[in-house]
Amino acid sequence: MQKAIQVKNLCYKYQKDEEELTAIYDMSFDVYEGEFLAIIGHNGSGKSTLAKLLNGIIKPSSGDVLVYEMNTKDEDKIWDIRQKAGIVFQNPDNQIVATIVEEDVAFGPENLGVEQKEIRKRVDEALETVKMSQYKDRKPHQLSGGQKQRIAIAGILAMQPKCIIFDEATAMLDPSGRDEVLSCIRHLNKENKTTILYITHYMEEIVDADRIIVLNKGEIAMQGTPKEIFSQVEPLQQLQLDVPNITKLAYMLKKEGINIPDGVLTVDEMVGCICR
């Protein structure tokens, strides 16, 4: 499989009150084209720093980040990198620039100098993909959190990236807004074959990811499929991460001596195991 992003021996240090702190410590991993990779970790594990490193908003202290073979340290390639790997941030309010929805979606392609006709086409398509077409003439502050975040996604889509990084994109949303955004992201991954790198601290959101990387204190603590990760209930709890409730239930039943396989992820699976 082709590699979308390669992270090689990545280190990131920063100054705070004359003290040098390390946010990312010697990290290496690859993101493959078309996959849904989830990165999880609790506060201070370096997830947001990692997101900013991935499309060159901040530069590595040592090591390299390659986005489609382009190094983020290469200033000439930085706009190509940001076009290829878009990023959706946490706060929906602080990433919408224009006063009208469709003009905000157009902001990215406008910056890239795309031709006017083509911008119109891309904006319409992007709004269609996130199912926000009927809101294109609205003002951003009239929309709900989930809708604003979908507009932010459309704004990235209009740049036609190959990979989208979500930096805790659902953290500030209510449950229904979270569902809206998540189903939109899944749709992008399945239908448009967009590579998704999903950073979060909610375990429930990533049970159907292709692969999970667990971060702790700037290092990779675990990686594997959701099944492999969630079957390790105790190590996860030590990293202050909560496994999904259903997995926890399976774990507790197993502890009581009931024969249930490791890493049950969904209610259906659970029903299947119990009613055998």
Partner 1 sequence: MFKDITIGQYYPANSPIHDLDPRTKIVYTFVYIIVLFFANNIAGYAIALLFLALLIYLSNIPLKFVFKSVKAIIIIILITVILNVFVTPGYILFKIGPLKVTDAGLINAAFMAVRLIMLIIGTSIMTLTTSPISLTDGMEYCMRRIPGMRAYAHELAMMMTIALRFIPTLMEEADKIMKAQKARGADFETGGIFKKAKSVVPILVPLFIGSFKRADELAMAMEARCYRGGEGRTRLNELTYQKGDTVAYIVTAVMTAMIIASRFLLLLNIPMK
Q: Which residues bind partner 1 (CB under 8 A)?
A: 52, 55, 57, 79, 82-83, 86-87, 89, 91, 93-100, 102-103, 106-116, 119-120, 123, 139-141, 155-156, 159
Nearer to partner 1, 10 or 106 (CB): 106
- In the block, tokens 């993909």 appear at 129
Q: Which is nearer to partner 1, 142 or 238 (CB)?
A: 142
Contacts of 122 (CB under 8 A, 6+ apart): 106, 109, 114, 157, 158, 160
In the complex, what is the shortest distance from the CB of residue 152 to partner 1, in angstroms, rounded to a whole number?
8
Smallest separation (angstroms) from partner 1 to the CB of 91: 6
To the nearest whole angstrom, how small is the minimum distance from the Cβ of residue 192 to partner 1? 19
What's the burial of 193, exposed, middle or buried (CB within 10 Å: 0-12/13-18/19+)? exposed
For the chain, what is the total number of helices (H) and then of strands (E)? 10, 10
DSSP state of 117: H
Q: Cβ of residue 169: shortest distance to partner 1, in angstroms?
A: 12
Q: How far is the CB of 89 from partner 1 (least distance, A)?
A: 6
Rounded Cα distance, 119 and 128, in Å: 14
Nearest to 11 by CA among 1, 23, 2: 23
Would you say 40 or 164 has its CB closer to partner 1? 164
Q: Of the two residues 108 and 244, which places its CB atom closer to partner 1 in the complex?
A: 108
Taking the complex as a whole, the smallest distance from the CB of residue 92 to partner 1 amounts, in Å, to 10
Q: Which is nearer to partner 1, 148 or 201 (CB)?
A: 148
Those residues with Cβ within 8 angstroms of residue 84's Cβ, 6 or more apart along the chain or in another chain: 67, 68, 70, 161, 162, 163
If the CB atoms of residues 111 and 176 are measured against partner 1, the closer one turns out to be: 111
Helix H or strand E encompassing 175 = helix 175-191
Residue 120's contacts (CB-CB under 8 Å, 6 or more residues apart) are none
| Cβ-proximal residues to 6 (8 Å cutoff; 6+ apart), any chain | 30, 31, 64, 65, 66
Contact 129, 192 (CB under 8 A): yes
**Token pair for 260:** 């249930």
Cβ-based nearer residue to partner 1, 141 or 276: 141
Q: How far is the CB of 113 from partner 1 (least distance, A)?
A: 5
